[in-house]
Amino acid sequence: MIAYLSLTPHSEKMLFPYADLVFHASAYSILSLFLSLSLEGGRLGGRPLLAVGFASLYGAVIELLQYYVPTRTPSLLDATANAIGAMIGVYILRRAFGAICSWLGLV
Protein backbone atom coordinates (compact mmCIF):
# COMPACT_ATOMS: atom_id res chain seq x y z
CA MET A 1 0.00 0.00 0.00
CA ILE A 2 2.79 2.44 0.92
CA ALA A 3 4.67 1.69 -2.30
CA TYR A 4 1.55 2.15 -4.41
CA LEU A 5 0.60 5.45 -2.79
CA SER A 6 4.19 6.71 -2.92
CA LEU A 7 4.92 5.72 -6.50
CA THR A 8 1.79 6.76 -8.36
CA PRO A 9 1.36 10.24 -9.82
CA HIS A 10 -0.86 12.55 -7.76
CA SER A 11 -1.86 16.17 -7.42
CA GLU A 12 -0.10 18.47 -4.98
CA LYS A 13 -3.33 19.54 -3.23
CA MET A 14 -2.96 19.21 0.56
CA LEU A 15 -5.64 19.07 3.23
CA PHE A 16 -3.61 21.27 5.61
CA PRO A 17 -0.04 22.61 5.84
CA TYR A 18 2.52 19.79 6.13
CA ALA A 19 -0.19 17.16 5.65
CA ASP A 20 2.18 15.07 3.55
CA LEU A 21 4.67 14.86 6.43
CA VAL A 22 1.92 13.80 8.84
CA PHE A 23 0.79 11.13 6.38
CA HIS A 24 4.37 9.91 5.89
CA ALA A 25 4.99 9.66 9.63
CA SER A 26 1.64 7.92 10.21
CA ALA A 27 2.17 5.33 7.47
CA TYR A 28 5.69 4.46 8.59
CA SER A 29 4.59 4.40 12.22
CA ILE A 30 2.07 1.70 11.36
CA LEU A 31 4.61 -0.14 9.19
CA SER A 32 7.24 -0.26 11.94
CA LEU A 33 4.67 -1.25 14.55
CA PHE A 34 3.66 -4.31 12.52
CA LEU A 35 7.26 -5.05 11.53
CA SER A 36 8.29 -4.96 15.16
CA LEU A 37 5.48 -7.30 16.13
CA SER A 38 6.30 -9.73 13.34
CA LEU A 39 10.03 -9.71 14.11
CA GLU A 40 9.32 -10.35 17.78
CA GLY A 41 6.92 -13.21 17.15
CA GLY A 42 3.96 -11.26 18.52
CA ARG A 43 5.61 -10.52 21.85
CA LEU A 44 7.68 -7.68 23.24
CA GLY A 45 11.29 -8.47 22.48
CA GLY A 46 14.61 -6.93 21.54
CA ARG A 47 14.31 -6.10 17.83
CA PRO A 48 12.88 -2.58 17.67
CA LEU A 49 16.01 -1.21 15.99
CA LEU A 50 15.69 -3.75 13.20
CA ALA A 51 12.08 -2.70 12.59
CA VAL A 52 12.99 1.00 12.61
CA GLY A 53 16.00 0.41 10.38
CA PHE A 54 14.07 -1.63 7.82
CA ALA A 55 11.13 0.80 7.71
CA SER A 56 13.49 3.78 7.39
CA LEU A 57 15.51 2.12 4.63
CA TYR A 58 12.31 1.16 2.81
CA GLY A 59 11.15 4.80 3.06
CA ALA A 60 14.46 6.08 1.71
CA VAL A 61 14.36 3.68 -1.25
CA ILE A 62 10.77 4.68 -2.03
CA GLU A 63 11.81 8.35 -1.96
CA LEU A 64 14.66 7.65 -4.40
CA LEU A 65 12.31 5.76 -6.73
CA GLN A 66 10.03 8.81 -6.88
CA TYR A 67 12.65 10.43 -9.11
CA TYR A 68 11.32 8.23 -11.94
CA VAL A 69 7.62 8.98 -11.37
CA PRO A 70 6.01 11.93 -13.16
CA THR A 71 4.66 14.59 -10.77
CA ARG A 72 6.67 13.08 -7.87
CA THR A 73 9.96 14.30 -6.48
CA PRO A 74 12.21 12.66 -3.91
CA SER A 75 12.46 14.61 -0.67
CA LEU A 76 14.90 14.38 2.21
CA LEU A 77 12.20 15.89 4.42
CA ASP A 78 9.80 13.08 3.49
CA ALA A 79 12.48 10.45 4.17
CA THR A 80 13.08 12.06 7.56
CA ALA A 81 9.35 12.00 8.33
CA ASN A 82 9.35 8.30 7.36
CA ALA A 83 12.17 7.56 9.81
CA ILE A 84 10.61 9.59 12.61
CA GLY A 85 7.30 7.82 12.03
CA ALA A 86 9.07 4.45 12.21
CA MET A 87 10.57 5.41 15.57
CA ILE A 88 7.20 6.60 16.86
CA GLY A 89 5.52 3.33 15.85
CA VAL A 90 8.02 1.18 17.75
CA TYR A 91 7.88 3.52 20.75
CA ILE A 92 4.08 3.35 20.87
CA LEU A 93 4.15 -0.43 20.57
CA ARG A 94 6.68 -0.86 23.34
CA ARG A 95 4.91 1.57 25.66
CA ALA A 96 1.42 0.19 25.04
CA PHE A 97 2.47 -3.46 25.02
CA GLY A 98 4.62 -2.96 28.11
CA ALA A 99 1.77 -1.26 29.97
CA ILE A 100 -0.70 -4.00 29.06
CA CYS A 101 1.70 -6.76 30.11
CA SER A 102 2.44 -4.95 33.37
CA TRP A 103 -1.28 -4.44 34.04
CA LEU A 104 -1.90 -8.14 33.45
CA GLY A 105 1.04 -9.06 35.69
CA LEU A 106 2.97 -10.72 32.87
CA VAL A 107 6.16 -8.72 33.38
d(CA 85, CA 27): 7
- Is the Cβ–Cβ distance between 89 and 30 less than 8 Å? yes
Displacement of CA 20 from its chain's centroid (Å):
13
pLDDT digits (tens, 9 = 90+) for 2-20: 888 888 887 667 778 888 8
pLDDT at residue 107, rounded to an integer? 52
Q: Name residue 27's amino acid.
A: A
**C-alpha to C-alpha distance for 91 and 10, rounded to whole angstroms:** 31
The whole-number pLDDT of residue 8 equals 86
The pLDDT tens digits of the residues spanning 28-68 come to: 999 998 888 888 665 555 578 899 999 999 999 999 999 99
- CA dist 69 and 64 (Å) reads 10
Q: Is the pLDDT of residue 100 over 80?
A: no
Better pLDDT: 85 or 4 = 85
How many angstroms separate the Cα of 74 from the Cα of each of 4, 19, 35, 59?
15, 16, 24, 11
